[in-house]
Structure 1
Amino acid sequence: MKKSAAKPKLAALTAPAIRRPSRAEAEAAVATLLAWAGDNPAREGLRDTPARVARAYEEIFAGYQQDPASILDTVFEDVSGYGEMVLVRDIPFFSHCEHHMAPFFGKAHIAYYPDGGVFGLSKLGRLVDVYARRLQTQETMTAQILAALDARLHSRGAAVLIEAEHMCMSMRGVRKPGALTVTLQFSGPFKSDPAEQARFLSLVRDRR
């Protein structure tokens, strides 16, 4: 098992640097929102809510502090000639819509054709989390995951399918709970060959 020497830069896939407000500023902002919503941030039940929200946000949006290149740092080259599709399906995730900051959640399915090496299977789940733990659109998140895979592994092709329910659609607006949004992104033979797309989708849907 070896580490790949090549480490393509993924700078374009990471969030731009900005001035990060202090914890006190973040907590004050939460208190302002509580008051704007019509409640009293000083009452007993809400007194510690700004601090709790700030701590929760550190976990929920931890992806801003993580580098996808480090997640995909190790490529195992000793795969005994394996060159068929690798598929990890039903990867659960939770994210937040960048338009309303409402949660969306679902499953990601990732496949690729290795070309000289494979990722540890847990790395694909961690890669999903890096991008899910940011303010997102599902379309962007799908494209980012595929781009990170292609940049790091130089695979012969990859496929990403995400299906999710968006609370901004379920609990507000049109209020259609249970509606799923499906996004797909392909590269290599998955992009050029409809038969490869069909094979991928069949394996994703096969629940036997």
Structure 2
Amino acid sequence: MDAVLKPVQKKVDRKTPDQLQRPSKEEAEAAVKTLLAWTGDDPDREGLLETPKRVVKAFTQLYGGYFEDPIEHLERTFEDVGGYQDIVMVRGIPFHSHCEHHMLPFIGQAHIAYYPAEGVVGLSKLARVVDIYAKRLQTQENLTAQITSAIDDTLAPRGMAVMLEAEHQCMTMRGVQKPGVSTITTQFTGVFHDDPAEQAKFMTMVRGGMR
């Protein structure tokens, strides 16, 4: 029996899963079967018989971010850092998300840096925040803003910087069909926002100028 997912209770500017009428697993599988028939294939042939179940199971993993609260992963901090007050960066965090317009993947890397105020958070927790927000239907701009807000609001650092680089399959597989094109989004707060030199430092570190 599949585990029952309980939506995270969280105030946001759009309806959360618990505020929506969530179809049953059987209804979701029926919808997949309808789409298979719409493509022109036979959903009752041997190779597609189990496809609706597999797709629904895959969706549970691909969109599992709706049922996790990223703030929970940021609440525990460590203050014993030997007086360290300089920049902390986690570079090259791989992620994959899905465009909310076409439900096609966009795949890339996230780079996160911040100046600690009272403590630091476990490095893996920053990657966890990226994963949780990425496992929702997204635009890259919104994903960048959500990651920034969650970390900035919870840790209250002296400043933070976020950069996402990704290739969008909605631009590669359909439409203009231009593979190899990267989309870059950035957001800065605190000292990164106020000081162009800090932004330049961040960009240099991202590009590997400091190793």
TM range, smaller chain: over 0.9
User: Partners of 2:203 and 2:160 in 1: how far apart?
Assistant: 13
Pairing 1:27-38 to 2, within 5 Å after superposition: 27-38=29-40
Contact (CA 8 Å) 1:13, 1:144: kept in 2 or not? no
| Counterpart position of 1:198 | 200
| Counterpart position of 1:51 | 53
One-letter amino acid of the structure 1 residue matched with residue 12 of structure 2? A
1:80 aligns with 2:70: no
| Counterpart position of 1:135 | 137
User: Partners of 1:160 and 1:194 in 2: how far apart?
Assistant: 15
CA 1:115–1:52 in 2, change beyond 3 Å: closer, same or farther?
same
Displacement of 1:80 after TM fit? 1.6
Secondary structure of 1:160's counterpart equals strand
CA 1:14–1:111 in 2, change beyond 3 Å: closer, same or farther?
farther
Displacement of 1:12 after TM fit? 2.8
CA 1:74–1:14 in 2, change beyond 3 Å: closer, same or farther?
farther
1:107 aligns with 2:79: no
| Counterpart position of 1:18 | 20
1:164 aligns with 2:190: no
One-letter amino acid of the structure 2 residue matched with residue 198 of structure 1? A
Unaligned runs of 5+ in 2: 1-8
CA 1:13–1:156 in 2, change beyond 3 Å: closer, same or farther?
farther
| Counterpart position of 2:69 | 67
User: Partners of 1:177 and 1:134 in 2: how far apart?
Assistant: 23
CA 1:199–1:13 in 2, change beyond 3 Å: closer, same or farther?
farther
| Counterpart position of 2:92 | 90
| Counterpart position of 1:119 | 121
Displacement of 1:10 after TM fit? 6.5
TM-score of the two chains, using structure 1 as the length reference: 0.93
Structural RMSD (CA)? 1.5
Pairing 1:142-161 to 2, within 5 Å after superposition: 142-161=144-163
TM-score of the two chains, using structure 2 as the length reference: 0.91
Unaligned runs of 5+ in 1: 1-8
Secondary structure of 1:200's counterpart equals helix
Q: Write out the 4+ residue segments of structure 1 that deviate beyond 3 Å after TM superposition.
A: none
1:174 aligns with 2:176: yes
User: Partners of 2:70 and 2:13 in 1: how far apart?
Assistant: 8
Displacement of 1:15 after TM fit? 6.0
Give the total of aligned pairs: 200
Contact (CA 8 Å) 1:13, 1:148: kept in 2 or not? no
Deviations, residues 21-74 of structure 1 (Å, cap 9, x unaligned) = 110011001001111111111110000000000000000000000001112121
Contact (CA 8 Å) 1:14, 1:67: kept in 2 or not? no
User: Partners of 1:152 and 1:174 in 2: how far apart?
Assistant: 40
Deviations, residues 105-128 of structure 1 (Å, cap 9, x unaligned) = 000000000001001000011000
User: Partners of 2:99 and 2:54 in 1: how far apart?
Assistant: 21
One-letter amino acid of the structure 2 residue matched with residue 135 of structure 1? L
